[in-house]
Amino acid sequence: MLHIVNKSPYERNALDAVLRIAQSGSLLLIEDGVYAATRGSTAEARLAAAMPRLKVYALLPDLEARAIADRVIAGVTPIDYGGFVDLVAAHRNCQSWL
Amino acid sequence: MFVNRKAPYGTVYALESLEVVLISAAFEQDVSVVFVDDGVYQLKKGQQTKAIETKNFSPTYRALEGYDVEKLYVERESLAARGLTEIDLIVDVTVLGAIELGKLMDEQDVVLSC
């Protein structure tokens, strides 16, 4: 399953829910969700702990818009909109966690 | 599968989700309903909404059975974090741990989350 998170981990608990529940597949961070992908953040360790189970992506246009594209955690793959479409097509199902 | 993660009265998500579940059931879809995080509060027994002048829609969860919506799942960790147990809930549910719930989600054709 492709799990999509669009809220900041500091404002909502959607990311924590995904990291607790999702056992395999991919996690795509978009919109304010991309703040979780930054080095030195309190979300970094939690995200890193899930990486053996989940492949993690972040939407590059959203990273760039928020001026954090230069501080993405190692192991998180930045993707463009075309990559977003490819990810959706590559997974059997997806869940947008609001 | 519908995944509910929000408490019942602070926002309209819970009520809207319940309505979509009923509509899906009316169209004879094979529906599962999940309650995670604050979503477990939707099923708390004893809701009294008269003084906030809002419809108490919690009895509707008991009517789901009549629409053949019988697959109700609650995450064990979410209940425990809120000091709740299965006894506090208005309907019979299957309590699953986070890992089991994750596997169940992976098996679904469509998952709508709110």
Give the pLDDT confidence score for residue B11 in this predicted structure. 96
Flag if A17 and B37 touch (Cβ within 8 Å).
yes
DSSP A20-49: HH--SSEEEE-GGGGGGGBTTSTTHHHHHH
DSSP classification of residue B12: S
Domain borders along chain B are 2-113
Flag if A23 and B102 touch (Cβ within 8 Å).
yes
For residue A2, give how far its alpha carbon lies from the nearest alpha carbon of chain B (Å). 9
ipTM of this model? Answer: 0.88
Kindly report the CATH number that applies to the domain delimited by B2-113: 3.40.1260.10
pLDDT over 70 percentage in chain B:
100
- Order of all β-strands in the sheet with A26-29: A76-79, A55-59, A26-29, A2-5, A94-97
Per-residue pLDDT tens for A12-69? 999 999 999 999 999 999 999 999 999 999 999 999 999 999 999 999 999 999 999 9
Choose, out of B4, B96, B113, the residue to mutate when testing the contact with A (most A CBs < 10 Å): B113
Structure tokens at A40: 């030195």
Give the pLDDT confidence score for residue A74 in this predicted structure. 96
Give the pLDDT confidence score for residue B69 in this predicted structure. 97
Structure tokens at A39: 């080095």
pTM recorded for the entire structure: 0.93
Buried b (16+ CB within 10 A) or exposed e, A19-47: bbbbbebbbbbbbbbbbbbbeebebbeeb
Per-residue pLDDT tens for B46-75? 999 999 999 999 999 999 999 999 999 999
Q: Which candidate, A21, A17, A37, A38, places its Cα nearest to that of A29?
A: A37
Superfamily for domain range A2-97: DsrEFH-like (3.40.1260.10)
